[in-house]
Structure 1
């Protein structure tokens, strides 16, 4: 959990993803057009390829549905008294979600992508 979204945070994120990619495998990371996602200043690890989505196309980005699910399920209708409350509750929500890989798959599924 980082307090801001920026180039440094993205670099840390890439390093973390790179560490979890299986030996001999390659990850494709789909990103939106946020400046820190597509900066030429990023040092992209050898085992990751960044695939940017077209601008203004949230329907192509399944993570948008995950964020909405997190907000609706664990993060809405709350009062955060401190920054630490925000971090604790957001981390708890994230951990609840990642313990449910079947839910992540169903939320991220795009029916139109599986019609072939």
Structure 2
């Protein structure tokens, strides 16, 4: 990762290092322990249903800048669409080279002719989620909806959409959660 970043910095006037990950979330409730007064029972309504959506998040740990997308599925086509939208949103191209660190999920494979200009992928070693800073974002998204029952996937999507929009404005919070001590910083 550091080697890819330094190589890109030698070749391009502006380089940024991002990381991305996906997270499945749905109508099966996320249950967490909570504090309650002694002797008073706590109840949490649940009605497990198996409908899902996926959050795709990109974060630049150094600056805390982020981009979130809610997707109905994970597939090569959906991944390609999100990666293209991300490249457009950060201005990737000849003047801005973006290095994206990702895991080795099978649907991340895209042909070079379909890949957005100005974006370079770096794949983490297999079975190493602890190296992925974007994994730390899911604690933030899950905490907001834990112990909550949603009537439909649309209701969950509305809540998650607002949460993701809010997270995109929380640069310091995202930096605190994702900037590991060993994460390489950009020189330009």
Q: Which has the higher helix share?
A: 1
Alignment of 1:7-26 (within 5 A): 7-22=76-91, 24-26=95-97
1:93 is displaced (CA, Å) by 1.3
* Offset from partner CA, 1:27-66 (integer Å, 9 cap, x none): 11111111112x1446211210011111111111011101
Say which structure is richer in strand: 2
* Counterparts of residues 1-116 of structure 1 (less than 5 Å): 1-22=70-91, 24-37=95-108, 39-41=109-111, 43-72=114-143, 74-111=144-181, 113=182
Tell me if the contact between 1:75 and 1:93 (Cα under 8 Å) persists in the aligned partners: no
Unaligned runs of 5+ in 2: 1-69, 184-188
SS of corresponding position for 1:14: helix
CA distance in 1 between partners of 2:87 and 2:179 (Å): 24
Runs of 4+ with deviation above 3 angstroms: none
Q: RCO higher in 1 or 2 (8 Å CA, sep ≥ 6)?
A: 2
Number of aligned positions between the proteins: 111
Instruction: Name the counterpart of 2:32.
Output: none
Shift of 1:21: 2.9
Looking at CA atoms only, which structure, 1 or 2, has the larger radius of gyration? Answer: 2
Query: TM-score w.r.t. structure 1 length?
Result: 0.87
What SS class does the counterpart of residue 72 from structure 2 fall into? coil
